[in-house]
Amino acid sequence: MSKASNIACDVKDLGLADTGKLRLEWADQFMPVLTTIRKQFEKKQPLKGIRVSACLHVTTETGNLMITLKAGGADVVICASNPLSTQDDVAACLVRDHGIPVYAVKGEDNDSYYSHLNSAIEHRPNLTMDDGADLVTLAHTKRTDMAKDIFAGTEETTTGVIRLRSMSRQGILKYPIVAVNDANTKHFFDNRYGTGQSTLDGILRATNVLIAGLAVVVCGYGWCGKGLALRSRGLGANVIVTEVDPTRALEAAMEGYRVMSLAEAAPIGNLFITVTGNKNVLRKEHFEKMQDGTLLANSGHFNAEIDIPALEKLATGKRTTRSFVEEYTLRDGRKLNLLGEGRLINLVSAEGHPASVMDMSFANQALAAEYLVENASKLENKVYPVPEAIDQDIAAKKLDAMGIHIDKLTAEQEKYMVSWSEGT
């Protein structure tokens, strides 16, 4: 039955909803923690009457989060957090079957992207849920008129947390934010195993290259870089890591990766993947030294990590050779292949992180929203971690769903752990 007739939305085609429904159900089987929370939310209604505007990648996993928030009583709308990451069938199903307004179309241009953000903020949210902090930024800049009712927000990703901490340091943040990214049950798993697998999935779907024997240059050795280096090595790549942080570089070296500067890696690498969260990591001086046929991909939040304008300037020609592959021909005839327009390749040409890892990330989102409804009035306008009890509870629930049992400290051990008197 269609509930779509009176739901405001901008989606590609409501006719895609049947496929979206099946894919949402498929993902849901791998999200046992979120499912448990949804059942609790249905009974407790912790978000009753709370208007939530979300700006997240519109995927099957996010769809299941939106359904969970709605089950908890929230009045939810969602827009895309990236112009290329939307799964149009999921968007259609959320509108048609769940009555959730969605503003997201895969391939939307910049103007539509911002008009969708505006539509989401015009919901007059009480709570914002961001992946990259674009919605919070809008509420603090062009749409301060919509900020009045916002009591708190959550942030999904490293890049967003960095932006929000900068706002907090400058004293301009108007409401408290919970940094979901920083929960252990988020970044240890989503950033590491999720990015590690889904980035390679995106690169493989776009190119079908053999990773074995390739010199894969992982730019950045944060949690995403660690996962990516690990999985690339698993597929037989010759992994090179580049870093700016000495401790991380050392860690990569001791993990057995080759560590060098990007200037040194540029002529050696076959596939470069940026996961730094910074800008212009791969730039003119590197493109000039790269081998013919080099592949360039980004899995960081923004499409700023590869200096595409510099690549455009160096090129004498450009053609699309496959979906999500642009071949740039340079003046000396070398060809460099840019994947997914330099946007996060895991969501552009694949489906993002698998559901079982997003289960924990989005369990954090749902429980952080509940926590904020209860506690935001006691918080300052700063960035806060997910409370440890929530983080631990999610880990315990995930273990339980996986059928894994762990030990408990004995009374004697508990006492020992808080004492100092017993020594050699």
**Which residues lie near ligand ADE (CB under 6 A)?**
56-57, 59, 61-62, 194, 347, 352-353, 358
Kindly state the tokens that stand for 354: 């698998």
Q: Roughly how many angstroms between the first and final C-alpha of the chain, as a whole number? A: 72
- ∠ at Cα 2 (348, 53), nearest 5°? 50
Of the pair 137, 157, the CB lying nearest ligand ADE is at: 157
Of the pair 59, 270, the CB lying nearest ligand ADE is at: 59
CA distance 132 to 177: 13
Is residue 278 a contact partner of residue 252, using CB atoms and an 8 Å limit? no
Is residue 61 a contact partner of residue 358, using CB atoms and an 8 Å limit? yes
Is residue 251 a contact partner of residue 233, using CB atoms and an 8 Å limit? no
Of the pair 189, 371, the CB lying nearest ligand ADE is at: 189
List strand residue ranges (DSSP E) for 373-422, in order: 383-385
Beta strand 215-219 pairing with 383-385: unpaired
Residue nearest to ligand ADE (CB): 352
Please state the closest distance from residue 354 (CB atom) to ligand ADE, in A. Answer: 7
CA distance 257 to 327: 29
Of the pair 343, 353, the CB lying nearest ligand ADE is at: 353
Please state the closest distance from residue 274 (CB atom) to ligand ADE, in A. Answer: 16
Q: What are 338's strand-pairing partners?
A: 296, 326
Is residue 26 a contact partner of residue 64, using CB atoms and an 8 Å limit? no
Please state the closest distance from residue 362 (CB atom) to ligand ADE, in A. Answer: 8
Please state the closest distance from residue 333 (CB atom) to ligand ADE, in A. Answer: 37
Of the pair 83, 269, the CB lying nearest ligand ADE is at: 83
Please state the closest distance from residue 61 (CB atom) to ligand ADE, in A. Answer: 4
CA distances from 121 to 58, 76, 183, 207 (A): 16, 11, 26, 37
Please state the closest distance from residue 384 (CB atom) to ligand ADE, in A. Answer: 21
Please state the closest distance from residue 228 (CB atom) to ligand ADE, in A. Answer: 13
CA distance 282 to 278: 10
Of the pair 153, 269, the CB lying nearest ligand ADE is at: 153
The answer to whether the Cα torsion of 267, 273, 278, 284 is positive or negative is: positive
Of the pair 181, 337, the CB lying nearest ligand ADE is at: 181
